[in-house]
Structure 1
């Protein structure tokens, strides 16, 4: 599993076998309390980062912010620079917007700028501000109808919640801009509707109207300034109904000024949601809000393989399932899942069929939201180690003493936090990190052929893979594959349509869910982290040295993750300010910093070895964005307990001396999320599995 990789502790350990059967290795997910799940924001690996799959929860994420309604573009909006000749308009008057009780007060321009600074970084925020002001200046050039039609890229933004926050912040700061997402890249451009309305009413009103529209506050209203020109009012009515008729409704009403003179004004309000079953505008949202939660018990199945079975039977996509982490294959595992667009009754109907596939479905109930990767507290493990023996170089020692020594040592000191073998496809002829490297290098055809490399077995799945590699006949291979091989089928359908070439293979990868695409890249990043951790311990041991990265415990929301990661100085090394338990190593990505010592140099040399020295860790053709994060080198085990059991009468053994191979070791412990029990066992037993 981790040959020649470093150990943390020095006890001799012992030998034994694990996972003789799935019941020898039982994993139960420790769920977060429900109120914490409701408050949890998506990670940026997500995050794109939907967050990173089963990596540390310390993933890059912009600071949280409150939704606000800031003032207008490029500072507070002044009198209109659009058409000043509109009849019956009071250009100096301020628009009236009825604010609901409890509605947040408007933030100052400086505060809103600081929100954009925190989301984008100050340099990018300043570039956005310049683009916005240049566009407004271009709009003032009426002689050029195409003025200000350019676009500005904010770069890739990972995670739906992060994108939504940024969409809102940009629109509230600059109501005359619109934001669109293309392959996770956010593009900013001028809002043509804003420009058109600005020709009908003052810019001050236009700005306030679009902020009202973006805020979407239920039962709120917006009133334009009084307007005595009936034809002009009619034009404004038509504009709003044409552009926003599904969302808004308008009416004219009489207003009286301070001189008791009557005039007419246009009021806008949001349409009430219809209770009709048709609901062309709102029905889609109701469908998306159907979530069913359940506990999945699986045996001898990968998590993604189990999801493929469930999706095929329910007639939904694998991406309709959400979960908090990947569980071992060679084990009995219990984990919460949520599926959308499926009722609890429908899920219960397939229970008996799934049992034949090695799955059981428990605790089925409706819920109001999906799950997110990394949204778990940890896992509880019950493990049986059979065939206990001494290591060959340690035959004279007492076995029970060796076991006790190993347990206490790891209980006290912890273990090296390597990624485990299931991360890489243990025992497979092609491991997942190899596919990930090919994707990072944008070698799409190579990645496809690695993906379809068969194992040396004679079964329908491997026969189909073998046939495809020999013939490149995607349609023929598609017919040979069983229905539950959803990923393979999705990829083959695209290859059949577009061909087994660079373009076709790119579209093939895009045909499978994002979480599955990025899984392979994360596997490669995990492999590099494992190698880096082993190198770090070999050259520096458990001493914290200058240039190491340590994680600050300061949890202020405004502090970015990179600011929480501190580079150890020479005086701090001399004073032993930090412990090895605080040292973290980066998961490679585009937004992390490296150690400022030999380990940092090692990272750059290692990536060069795989031709990734210039890699930006963004694979735009596949919509993959890898920001990176930080992972502690060491982890501790919690609630560790164990006992020895005889193989004949299955009773607990208390004798001081044990006969080899006649006893089994029962171990029970808890680990934090993203920690691997096989890695903890490796440290205890000093064995590579």
Structure 2
């Protein structure tokens, strides 16, 4: 039976690091509050939630000052109309407007048709109101009511751009879940909400959202429905936000119980010395830009293993891997998988699944039930969502990239480029690989032709000559490693020989990429920087006791907006020195590290952490006994429930002290 694996980094080609100092042990991402991610927009600005108020809309106020209308409509009636528009602007769900009963009447018996027309045109400038002339008891009245269906069919104010940009702040929630929730409250298709990329679930994150044809005032009201989802920093823009439309991400991390690994030689070195050396190395030298462990899955059957069989078009073997048992399978799915694996009965296996049960395995079994008998295995594969289909081959490409990167560093070092290396021709540009855009696609917004505007651009690549090396124009940070595919160049040095030999050993040829089916998923490949240097690097060390509130060391956007202060003041921020960090047994003091850095999009924070901390499946990460660790766990029952099962509880956010 498949189960969670203890696969090591070396299994997926992650073997080297640039720093020479000993790596430390720490408890990483113990709670979601230990991990903060802020998007970096295309202009290089770190996205932060700093305001919850909507932009002031003066259109209604200006309309009320229309001199022609002032002479036709009494002031108190004009004010009622303005108040009605403002109230309707704050309604989140447009369906509620249909039931609005308020009505403002203007007696129009003595008005000429031209004047009545002018009033109707004036009302049309309010995007939530409609008007009509009615006869009642022998008199004419112009009635103003809420437009049924909200602002459908109404023109956007001339001075307001089409797209509303805002900052989404979330805690312990997937980006797709947050967008689905927002869309439901607005009664709109999630496709009208766009974003640059997904952010971690087990983290406190801030990112940009874009919503088409929506007033910011409606979005303000959404914040009251979920304590762990907030929207703010509203602005109107003429252009939408597209997938991949970001420069990178800024990370803030809290690493607990920082210490030396048993057996490390630490003579004449203190914890502070090692951390300082590691952070200086990270900032100056950077790290190898490996694809992280999360790309390869957490079960005994890895995504790259499936990808290898898909590349070879060994469909049955690929499907067997995908339908291998997992320890958390519900009983009906376990039986369905067993029936397929033992008797090759996809129709019988499909019949065991509930009609509303939708997973990768159910999609696959439905496809097999329809196409297995006629041996149409590509049609079976097409029954899976495209982002999921792409995942497997991309995982194998990532494994190859990691292995090639390790070879390049071992063979030629990291001092400078060598003849035959690849670099981009343009300066200051970097290609976003297709699957790095598609990684952001999910069940909320699937890839389609409409996403073509988000498709990554191909950049020109050149092979370095001796003349280029002599010119010193390029550095090691310009060197690219190809992600093998049907449309890439290869280094003209020993790196190419290593890559070719590796593919031969795996039974892979260029034909596997050139003749890949389905054609629409053909892996064209791309390029990725060999090394990455983080920017905005900083760190602080603190000593603490298990009873201390460590959240005071790493404030989120929401907490900063709320102007929260540590309840225990400066006493919790004990000054770090070597004696306090090396006498844990006698003082019960531990050390935590708060570090921050910015990375380009598609680079992995966990790979940057490798320069400081040992790989996360090492036992030293949690070699404390269970009750010691439990003292560092969430301090409230509500947050503990959230960590165990996110569906059972939401993190509680205090109301910020902001002006109404």
TM-score, normalising length: structure 2: 0.55
Runs of 5+ consecutive residues of structure 1 not aligned to the other structure:
36-276, 278-288
Cα contact 2:332–2:353 (8 A) shared by 1: no
Aligned partners of 2:543 and 2:575 also within 8 Å: no
Looking at structure 2, the residues matched to 556 and 686 of structure 1 have their Cα atoms a distance apart, in angstroms, of: 32
In angstroms, what is the RMSD of aligned CA positions? 4.4
How many residues are paired up? 429
Deviation at 1:380, TM superposition (A): 1.2
Does structure 2 conserve the Cα–Cα contact (< 8 Å) formed by 1:435 and 1:520? yes
Which among 292, 302, 307 is matched to residue 431 of structure 1?
Answer: 302
Pick from 608, 628, 635: which aligns with 1:680? 608
Query: Which residue of structure 2 aligns with residue 662 of structure 1?
Result: 590
Asked whether the equivalents of residues 618 and 624 of structure 1 are also in contact (C-alpha less than 8 Å), the reply is no
Q: Map 1:269-668 to 2 at 5 A.
A: 322-337=194-209, 360=229, 362-363=231-232, 371-391=241-261, 392-396=263-267, 397-425=269-297, 427-457=298-328, 459=330, 463=334, 466=337, 469=340, 472=346, 473-479=348-354, 482=357, 485=359, 487-499=360-372, 502-503=375-376, 505-542=377-414, 543-554=416-427, 564-570=460-466, 572-573=468-469, 578-613=474-509, 614-617=511-514, 619-621=516-518, 623-648=520-545, 649=548, 650=550, 651-657=572-578, 658-659=581-582, 662-668=590-596
Q: Given that residues 539 and 596 in structure 2 are in contact (C-alpha distance below 8 angstroms), is that contact kept between their aligned partners in structure 1?
A: yes
- Deviations 1:493-517 (Å, cap 9, x if unpaired)? 44443347742x5334323443332
What is the distance in 2 between the residues matched to 1:442 and 1:618? 10
CA deviations on 1:102-139 (whole Å, 9 max, x unpaired) are xxxxxxxxxxxxxxxxxxxxxxxxxxxxxxxxxxxxxx
Deviations 1:378-409 (A, max 9, x none): 11111111121113313433111111111111
Q: Is the 8 A contact 1:319 1:513 kept in 2?
A: no
CA deviations over 1:276-310 (Å, ceiling 9, x no partner) = x9xxxxxxxxxxx9988765555566667877899
Distance 1:368 1:350 in 2: 23
Structure-1 separation of matches of 2:289 and 2:518: 33
Q: CA deviation at 1:312?
A: 10
Q: Counterpart of 1:595 in 2: which secondary structure? A: coil
Q: 1:591 to 1:622 in 2, by over 3 A?
A: closer
Change (3 A) 1:547 1:665: same
Residue 27 of structure 1: SS of its match in structure 2? strand
1:405/1:554 Cα in 2 relative to 1: closer, same or farther (>3 Å)? closer
1:26 maps onto 2:33 in alignment = no
| SS of 1:402 mapped into structure 2 | helix
How many angstroms does 1:346 deviate by? 10
CA distance in 2, matches of 1:409, 1:587: 27
C-alpha separation in 1, matches of 2:320 and 2:235:
41
Deviations along 1:289-338, one digit per CA (max 9) or x if unpaired, are 99887655555666678778999999999988754334345434343455
SS state of the match for residue 518, structure 2? helix
Question: Does the CA contact (< 8 Å) of 2:193 and 2:210 recur in 1?
Answer: yes
Call closer, same or farther: CA 1:331–1:444 in 2, change over 3 Å: farther
Q: Distance in 2 between matches of 1:681 and 1:608?
A: 33
For residues 443 and 502 of structure 1, the distance between their equivalents in structure 2, rounded to whole angstroms, comes to: 12
Work out the CA distance in 2 between the residues paired with 1:513 and 1:565.
32
Tell me the alpha carbon deviations over residues 153-182 of structure 1, each in whole angstroms, 9 at most, x when there is no partner: xxxxxxxxxxxxxxxxxxxxxxxxxxxxxx
Normalising by the residue count of structure 1, what TM-score does the alignment of the two structures yield?
0.53
Deviation (angstroms), 1:634:
0.8
SS at match of 2:392: helix
Q: Specify every segment of 5 or more residues in structure 2 that has no aligned partner in the other structure, as ranges.
A: 1-7, 46-148, 150-160, 431-455, 551-571, 618-660
Contact 2:167/2:206 (CA < 8 Å) preserved in 1?
Answer: yes
Superposed CA offset, 1:532-591 (max 9, x none): 11111011111422211233345899xx99884232224554675532112111111222
- Contact 2:543–2:592 (Cα < 8 Å) also in 1: yes
Aligned to 2:67: none
CA shift for structure 1 position 372 = 3.6
User: Could you tell me whether the CA contact under 8 Å between 2:372 and 2:380 is conserved in 1?
Assistant: no
Q: CA separation in 1, counterparts of 2:468 and 2:202?
A: 45
State how far apart, in whole Å, the 1-side matches of 2:609 and 2:271 are. Answer: 16
Question: Using the alignment, how far apart are the partners of 2:213 and 2:282 within structure 1?
Answer: 45
Bigger drift between 596-605 and 540-549 goes to: 540-549
Alpha-carbon distance between aligned partners in 1 of 2:216 and 2:332, rounded to the nearest angstrom: 31
1:408 is paired with a residue whose SS is helix
Asked if 1:8 is matched to 2:18, the reply is: yes
How has the CA–CA distance of structure 1 residues 458 and 294 changed in structure 2, closer, same or farther, with 3 Å as cutoff? farther
Deviations 1:59-95 (A, max 9, x none): xxxxxxxxxxxxxxxxxxxxxxxxxxxxxxxxxxxxx
In 2, are the aligned partners of 1:381 and 1:677 still within 8 Å (CA)?
yes
Contact 1:440 1:617 in 2 (8 A): no
| 3-state SS of 2:20 partner | coil
Cα 1:360–1:653 shift into 2, 3 Å: same
User: Contact between 1:433 and 1:523, CA under 8 Å: does it hold in 2?
Assistant: yes
**Cross-structure match for 1:132:** none
Does the CA contact (< 8 Å) of 2:336 and 2:350 recur in 1? Answer: no
Taking the TM superposition and a 5 Å limit, the aligned residue runs for 1:167-206 are none
427-436 or 323-332: bigger deviation: 323-332
Deviations 1:326-376 (A, max 9, x none): 434543434345578999999999989987xxx736359998766443221
* 1:428 Cα deviation after fit: 2.4
Is this contact kept in 2: 1:509–1:622, CA < 8 A?
Answer: no
**Residues in 2 aligned to 1:451 and 1:501: alpha-carbon distance in whole angstroms:** 20
Residues 14 and 547 (structure 1), Cα distance of their counterparts in 2 relative to 1, 3 Å cut: same
